[in-house]
Structure 1
Amino acid sequence: MIPGEHYEQQYLDLMRHIWTHGDERTDRTGVGTRSIFGATMRFDLANDSIPLLTTKRVFWKTATREMLWFLTGDTNIRSLVEQKVHIWTDWPLDKYRKETGEDIDRDAFEQRIVEDDQFAKQWGDLGPVYGTQWVNWPRYTPAGEGLYRREEKGINQIKLLIDGLKHNPGSRRHIFTGWNVAELDQMALPPCHKTYQFYVAGGKLSAVLYQRSCDLGLGFAFNVYSAALLVRMIAQQCELEPGELVWNGGDVHLYLNHAELVEEQLSRQPSGQPKFKILRKPESIFHYQIADFKVEDYAPQAHISAPVAV
């Protein structure tokens, strides 16, 4: 990031570069992308700063609810749908349509998820995605004759991370990940924002997020805000100040059917400096609620809609 430049300009520059020079590729979804490999952006989190995009509206409360859901360890969309959060519905809905042949619309599918316990259990679960790996990573113990038994309670990486930051801040092992190779094939979507590392210096907490795959047009806005939110929550729990968020992307891409989104966003100029407040300090990182967060001075330009590639 160039000193004095608006924090969002690096994002727009990357978008323009990918759209103009990216390698056109056939992807998993069949939609096709323009892509580059390897990108870095840096965001200062000091003085209540938060990297919310201003060239389009980012629904930060939706992203916050998703992060709080991750931290519960839940992997069923039911509690999200009950909060009017739809961002994970497309994957189980697509699976349901393919396996049953029923051309059900999203609203009807979500209504059944909320109202029918058995239906939610069968069709609402995403497999061992982020929440499971973050707070309940599988743990196995020997069960004799070369066999192993999975323990009921797994490893809580988030708790271990915070304990480590409090008691050994200089460690180079402040890391958690969602990339459990043994369980990738059971997940509705393997983790995109897969590995986080934290660093303490001068009383400030900074983090690097490595994202293996980034939909720059749609997903990034949530990913970067959510990572900054996580840094702020962990910093508060460790009595540290927020430092810097370093975002690293592997395959960073724009979908070919997002041309209108890209062209509209690139025609806009970023402006403003939204501020982020945490209104109380709960007893642990697992006890935050949506009412604990407030964003001020956020005056984005209009939302830009685009289809999600499943």
Structure 2
Amino acid sequence: MPEGHSIHRLARQFGDVFAGERLAVSSPQGRFAAGAGLLDGHCMLRASAHGKHLFLHFEHGLVLHVHLGLYGAWDFGGDSQFRGASTIGAPRRVGEREVAGDSGDPAAAGYAGPPAPVGAVRVRLASSHGWADLRGATTCAAITEDEAAAVLDRLGPDPLHNTAGSRDDFIRRILTKRTPVATLLMDQKVIAGVGNVYRAEVLFRGRIDPLLPGRALPEEAAGLLWDDMAAVMSDGVRDGRIITTTAGFWTRSDQLPPGDEAHFVYRRHGQPCRICGTTVALAEHAARKLYWCPSCQQPE
């Protein structure tokens, strides 16, 4: 599932290319036809993200709410004035193609609108210079601003909205739970936007036993956990990738690392820990794969 940095990149992307534009909104697949009719022809004012939820705010008080889920992805295209990532969405389907640049056929001087939709396009947004197609999302709904606020009320703080209040809110939420920290970091009501990669990597970077109950985590350690999550997720927004190792672990420190050098423990089970050499462990935990170093993250 795309993690929070991807959704914030999407919000930035939509703001860059569609804010202030009157959009043609359609549902080629047909499943969102009623919602598309409510948004069609209206101006998109801004885009926002919280955790794994994307909100596109329109002039008449309606919001396009999208949660990509496991398989959702946005494709972008357009003319030479349209700048955007080619695809942002489900990594298992599209890989790391979240790099800003020209989309579609940027050399095409005679742009005449988006091409015929391919596949099950839930919703298409189109302006005079480009388009965005959504496929496979778990949630795609036209809602009111009040309903959008209600969605936010159900979520925990987002490290990419890093304020003193959100940090304190996270510390309060995690320190009152008996649940293991590894489970809490995946609970969107405790912290929004964290997925399996960030969970495993930040716990390793903090040398935190993933099975430690939240209430047993020292308050200072909980604050540092939030700070590190905010830092690495901000890096993810900048880089379009989740990279949690530092340059000293890369073959070349003058460029971003290849995939096999980007993480400390995620998907490195059976391989030696980059720090101590202990074999990285893998277990099923709360129906998700959990990766950790039994030595670096051993219980105290």
* TM class, shorter-length: under 0.3
Give the structure-1-normalised TM-score.
0.24
TM-score scaled by structure 2? 0.24
